[in-house]
Chain A
Amino acid sequence: MTSLQQHDIASGSLDRMWAIGARRPEGRGLILLVAVVLGALLFEPGVFTAYPATLGRIALIGLVALGLTAVILMGELDLSVASTLAVSGVVMAMIPNLALGIIAALIVGLIVGAINAFFVVVVGINSFIATLGMLFALRGLALVLSDEQPVRLADVDDGVAFGAPLIGPLTPRVLIFIVLLVGLHVFLTRMRAGREFYAVGGNRAAAKDAGIPVTRRIFTGFMISGGVAALAGAINTLERTAATPTAGSTVLLASIAAAIIGGISLNGGRGSIIGTVIGTLALGLLQIGLALAAVQQDIQQIFIGAVLFIAVVTDPASLRAVAANLRSSMGRGGGATAEPMPSSPQPVAHQ
């Protein structure tokens, strides 16, 4: 027998579904994706007939984005992924033995992640800045190590072979991407440590008091993003048969954009791997579609920018904010929407 009861917000299962749907952050990303897919089907079906290439591009952007998701969910940001990718690639190419090289690359990534985490949690620097510093430092390091020149793999043919389709049309890169996204999704939804990422991002103080090892979680997060970036670097180096110290120049912003379009909140606690994947798909398909349609480079860039801009200003919070602004400037307006409406504790019919 209960004495205090929750007065349900959404009465009726349909409203309830709507309510839940409205809460999902991936919504807008999905709509964009549908729009892009429709557009592609109408004007550039090649996007789908050429799906191995499309998948390749998606995996290229997406890999790093997956790693970033783990960090952003905790309300942090990792700008250093771009040059982590470059450094780990260079290190790998510098080591004659391929296997050792790959291992070294991954270790570099994990170390970078740990260093980032150290500055963020132990020293207490805003992660945007800490990783900005690492972005500069590692880029420089990559140039120093490589003597400012591309470093070729010892065994080029391995690399060429690596780039070839492995299962059906899927190249190792795509397979790794799929494995990673499934793995991270399971980690963030089903596993305790991953679930607690949301707590760390949603309310860090609360997470600490609840006995969650916040520091360890943040280290894990940054090491995931660092490691994944390094993995991307290794894959790129293998596929290209050489490492370029200036690599990753276009990856960073693209992967952040993908995550954002996927509905992740830079404040943390809100977002998902699925969302990031949706964002990546939308972005990748758009890029490939425009390329196949032979749209002029500059126009392509304008497109991507416009899509990103729309994605960020159509965030429900943004719309609410601007609606309020308009209302106050025009006087009374319609549909104020500072939901959810708080429920008053009242006895209702027994459930």
Chain B
Amino acid sequence: MTNIATRQGGRPAGAKVSTHRGGQIASVIQWSAERGIFVVTGVLIVAAAVFVQGFASVVNITDVFHRAAPVGIIAVGMTFVVISGNYLDLSVVPQVATSAVILIAVSNSYGLLPAIVVATLVSLVYGLINGVAVGYFKANAVIVTLATTYIGLGVLRWVSGGNIFFGPRGGTIDTLGQLKFGPVPLSALVLVFMAVLLGFVLSRTGFGFALRAYGSNKDATRLAGVATSRVVLGAFLITSLSAMIAGFVLAAFSNTAVSTVSTGMDFGALAAIIIGGNSVFGGRGSILRTVLGVVFVSVLTNILVLTDIGYGWQQVAIGVLIVLAVSIDALARRVGK
């Protein structure tokens, strides 16, 4: 009996201490999961501006924007798919390439407007096929978009013959592609516009709300009377349209288009989304985070190039960052419980 008494006296005290310490660590992790990316990005930029010679130059800022814009535009769109708990859309690769080729090739022979119309139709077809298969057939997004990637690249190369297409020098596309406002290229403004627009859609509209809920619990959301299949379809349509615009930006920037232009952008965009701290478990996620992730990756790559560090190390860095970002998220989730 007595020993129980002493224990009852002793243990809770000890326990209190441990939780106090645990509490501190927990709050730190929580905090870094919530704010981490904001701070890290800020620190990275400041540090680079101070230590990396030439980083802060106007020209270089433009280069960072050029890096960020295309993958960023894909990423803000693909955030919807990620938040819906469907991992990613691999088929952005053929989609970006297709829209780029269409923009240059079609506008060369029929003019800009027809090109945009055709590209839009194609991207809607992509969005429909992916969205219906995943949303209505409840098929796994990775596999579905893998299949549409195979098909899409096949069709693109079959139709385009794999040729590289050039727009006329000084043509509308070329001019827009090189258009700059101070250090800010048009493509960056497009990214900002897309981010603001889609950020609003995700956080402020009924659709975005339903999507977030769906990401958190599919069944409960359906039983709340939400047309979940349609929500998923919506997510894929948004991704497709973003991919199309990314294709336009790429094509305009180089005034050329070829079926290989978008290689690796699928995982590239996903990496940015994850590094931004969006949760692939559904639940937490925002366009702002995606944009930060994109900025972070672009700045980092830019720094690595400026400091003449090889391509291999760039890949290593991105890989490590992904794991790091998600580890923090996971730990936060853990202590949150």
Contact between chains at A128 and B280 (CB < 8 Å): yes
- A166 to chain B: closest CB distance in Å? 34
A130-138, A156-164, A180-188, A216-224: which one contacts chain B? A130-138
A128 to chain B: which residues have CB within 8 Å?
Answer: 87, 142, 280
Q: Is A14 positioned at the interface, with any CB of B under 8 Å from its CB? A: no
State in angstroms the CA–CA spacing of A325 and B140 once bound together.
17
A253 / chain B contacts, CB cutoff of 8 Å: 146
Indicate which residue in B139, B150, B321 contacts A304 across the interface (CB closer than 8 Å). B150
Q: Does B184 sit within 8 A of A, measured CB to CB?
A: no
In Å, the complex CA distance between A142 and B333 comes to 33
How distant is the Cα of A123 from the Cα of B320 in the complex, in angstroms? 14
Closest Cβ–Cβ distance, residue A142 to chain B (whole Å): 8
Query: Which residue of A is nearest B156, CB measured?
Result: A298
Chain B residues lying within 8 Å of A321, measured Cβ to Cβ, are: 136-138
Q: Select the stretch in A15-23, A231-239, A312-320 that faces chain B.
A: A312-320
**B149 contacts across to A, CB distance below 8 A:** 305
- Measured between beta carbons, the chain A residues less than 8 angstroms from B311 are 140, 143, 148
Give the one of B147, B148, B334 with max A CB within 10 A.
B147
Q: Are A133 and B151 in contact (CB under 8 A)?
A: no
Instruction: Say whether B137 contacts A322, CB under 8 Å.
Output: yes
Task: Assess whether A125 is in contact with B327, with CB atoms less than 8 Å apart.
Answer: yes
CB of A82 to closest CB in B, whole Å: 11
A138 to B312, Cβ gap below 8 A?
A: no
Whether A148 touches B312, Cβ cut-off 8 Å, given contacts A125-B330, A305-B150, is yes
Q: Flag if B140 contacts A129 (CB, 8 Å).
A: no
Q: Are B143 and A136 within 8 A (Cβ)?
A: no
Q: How far is the CB of A342 from chain B (nearest CB, A)?
A: 18
Contacts of B331 in A (CB 8 A): 123-124
Contact digits for B321-337, partner A, Cβ 8 Å, 1 yes 0 no: 11100110111011000
CA–CA, A130 and B148, complex, Å: 25
- Interchain CB contact under 8 A, A299 and B136: no
Contact status B326-A302, CB under 8 Å? no
The interface residues of chain A lying within 8 Å CB-to-CB of B147 are 305-306, 308-309, 312
Residue contact B143 to A302, C-beta cutoff 8 Å:
no
Evaluate whether A144 and B323 lie within 8 angstroms (CB atoms) in the complex, with A129-B274, A302-B158, A309-B148 already known. Answer: no
Interface size class of B (residues with CB under 8 A): 35 or more
Q: Given A123-B331, A125-B327, A312-B144: A144 and B310 within 8 A (CB)?
A: yes
B272 to chain A, nearest CB (A): 12
Let me know if B315 and A302 touch, CB within 8 A: no
Chain B residues with Cβ below 8 Å from A322 are 136-138
How distant is the Cα of A140 from the Cα of B311 in the complex, in angstroms? 7
Residues in chain B near residue A298, CB distance under 8 A:
153-155, 157-158
B203 within 8 A of A: no
Contact of B271 (CB < 8 Å), options: A119, A132, A266: A132
User: If A136-B316, A325-B229 touch, does A129 touch B322 (CB 8 Å cutoff)?
Assistant: yes
Q: How far is the CB of B51 from chain A (nearest CB, A)?
A: 23
Encode contact with B along A273-313: 1 for CB under 8 Å, 0 otherwise: 00000000000000000000000111111101110110011
Closest CB in chain B relative to A315 CB, distance in Å:
7
Contacts A124-B333, A144-B312: A134 and B154 contacting too (C-beta < 8 A)? Answer: no
B32 at the interface (CB under 8 A from A): no
Which residues on the B side are within 8 Å of A256 (C-beta)?
A: 142-143, 146
B38 on the A face (CB < 8 A): no
The residue of chain B having its C-beta at the shortest distance from the C-beta of A245 within the complex is: B312
Chain A contacts of B207 at CB under 8 A?
none
**Bound CA span A325–B320, Å:** 42
- Who on chain B is nearest to A146 by CB? B312
Chain A residue nearest to B327 in the complex (CB): A123
CB–CB A260/B143 < 8 A: yes
Which of A119, A140, A302, A317 makes the CB contact (< 8 A) with B150? A302
Task: State whether B322 touches A133 (Cβ < 8 A).
Answer: yes
Residue of B nearest to A116 (CB): B323
**Given A298-B155, A318-B138: A135 and B267 interface contact (C-beta under 8 Å):** yes
Q: Give A123 Cβ to nearest chain B Cβ, in Å.
A: 5
Task: Please tell me if A257 contacts chain B, counting CB pairs below 8 Å.
Answer: yes
Residues of B within 8 A of A125 (CB): 323, 326-327, 329-330
Which chain A residues lie closer than 8 Å to B143 at the CB level?
Answer: 256-257, 260, 266, 308, 312
B192 within 8 A of A: no
A319 to B274, CA, bound (A): 32
Quick check: is A173 within 8 A (CB to CB) of the other chain?
no
- Min CB distance A322 to B, Å, is 5
B333 pairs with A134, CB closer than 8 A: no
* CA of A186 to CA of B192, assembled, Å: 56
Tell me the smallest distance from the CB of B146 to a CB of chain A, in Å: 6
A133 and B319 contact, Cβ closer than 8 Å, known pairs A302-B150, A302-B151, A313-B137 = yes
The answer to the question of B106 belonging to the interface, with a C-beta cut-off of 8 Å to chain A, is no
Interface pair A305/B319, CB less than 8 Å apart: no
Among residues of B, the one whose C-beta sits closest to the C-beta of A145 is B312
A256 to B90, CA, bound (A): 14
Pair B146/A139 contact, Cβ less than 8 Å: no
Q: Is A337 an interface residue (CB 8 A)?
A: no
Nearest CB of B to A331, in Å: 16
B33 to chain A, nearest CB (A): 13
In the complex the two chains form, is A140's CB within 8 Å of B139's CB? no
Cα separation A175 to B26 with both chains bound (whole Å): 52
Interface string of B222-261 (1 = CB under 8 A from A): 0000000100000000000000000000000000000000
CB-CB contacts of B151-172 with A at 8 A, as 1s and 0s? 1111101100000000000000
Which of A296, A297, A312 is in CB contact (< 8 Å) with B140?
Answer: A312
Q: Which 3 A-B pairs have the closest CB atoms?
A: A137-B319, A140-B315, A305-B150
B interface vs A, CB < 8 Å? 87, 133, 136-140, 142-144, 146-155, 157-158, 229, 267, 270-271, 274, 280-281, 310-323, 326-327, 329-331, 333-334
**17 other contacts beyond A126-B330, A253-B146, A305-B147, with CB at 8 A cut-off?**
A123-B331, A126-B281, A128-B142, A128-B280, A134-B323, A136-B322, A137-B319, A139-B319, A298-B155, A299-B158, A301-B154, A304-B150, A308-B147, A312-B143, A312-B147, A315-B137, A318-B138
Interface residues of A (CB under 8 A from B): 119, 123-126, 128-130, 132-144, 148, 245, 253, 256-257, 260, 266, 296-302, 304-306, 308-309, 312-313, 315, 317-319, 321-322, 325
